Structure 1
Amino acid sequence: MSAAVKYTLGRLGLFAVCFTALLPVPLNLLVKMMVAFVASAGLSFLLLRKWRDNTAEQLGDIVARRTAEKDRLRSALAGDESAAEAGDRVAAAEAGDRVPATKVRKTTGKRA
C-alpha cells in the first residue's frame, strides 16, 4: 500500500473515531463534524507523523524524477545528443519492465 493511501486512510479513520465519540454530545450535526475535523487534524499531526513523513518523501522523489526527466527532455530538444541517448536508454528500460500486452484482434469496423 502506498504511503499516501495509508496516510489518507489514517486521517479518515481518525475523523470517524472523533465523530463517533461526539455522537452522544447534544450538538448540531454540522458542528459535530467541524469539531471532529479539527480534532482529527490535531491528532493526525501527533499520531500520524511517520506516515506523513513517508508520504512527503514519496512525493518528493516523484517531483525530483519528473524534474530530472523534464531537464533531460529540454536538453534533448535543444540538440544535446547525450541527453537524447539517455532518454532512449530510459525508454528501453521502462519498456522492458512492462508486462507485454495481450494480442488484440483487429476488427474491420463493420458490424455483422
Structure 2
Amino acid sequence: MSAALKYTLGRIGLFVAVLAGLWLIDMNVFLKLMLALVFSAALSFFLLRGWRDELAGEMADATERRRTEKERLRSALAGEDNPNPDANPPTRPTEGPDTAR
C-alpha cells in the first residue's frame, strides 16, 4: 500500500473516531465537525508521524526522478545527449574553411 493512501486513510480514520466520540456530547453538529477536525489534526501530528515521514520520502524521491528526467530531456533536445554512452563524442574538425589554404 502506498504511503499516501496509508496516511490519508489514517487521517480519515482519526477524524471519524474523534467525531464518534464527540457525537455523544450534546452540541451543535457544525461545532462537533470543527472540533473533530482540529483534534484529529493534532492527534495525527503525533500518531501518524511515521507514515507522514514515509510519504515525504516518497515525494522527495519522485521529485528527484522528475528533475533528473527533465534534465535528461533538456540535454537531448539541445543535442547534448549521447545515445550510446560507450561511443566517443563527435569532435570538431581542427581545420575550418577559414584556416585551410
**2: distance between equivalents of 1:30 and 1:70?**
46
In structure 2, the partner of 1:49 is 49
| Residue deviations 1:20-69 (CA, integer Å, cap 9, x gap) | 00001111111101100000000000000000000000011001000110
Q: Does 1:30 align with 2:35?
A: no
| Residue deviations 1:52-107 (CA, integer Å, cap 9, x gap) | 0000000110010001100110011011132xx27xxxxxxxxxxxxxxxxxxxxx
The 5 A counterparts of 1:68-83 are 68-82=68-82
Q: Tell me how many residue pairs correspond in the alignment.
A: 84
**TM-score for both structures, normalised by structure 2:** 0.80
Which one has more relative contact order, counting CA pairs under 8 Å at least 6 apart?
2
Please list every run of at least 4 consecutive aligned residues from structure 1 whose deviation after the TM superposition is greater than 2 angstroms. Answer: none
| Structure 1 unmatched ranges of 5 or more | 87-112
Q: Give secondary structure in 2 for the equivalent of 1:51.
A: helix
| Structure 2 unmatched ranges of 5 or more | 85-101
**TM-score for both structures, normalised by structure 1:** 0.72
Q: Which has the higher helix share?
A: 1
Measured on the aligned residues, the alpha-carbon RMSD in Å equals 1.0
In structure 1, the partner of 2:62 is 62
Q: Give secondary structure in 1 for the equivalent of 2:43.
A: helix
Q: Give secondary structure in 2 for the equivalent of 1:80.
A: coil
| Contact 2:19/2:32 (<8 A) preserved | yes
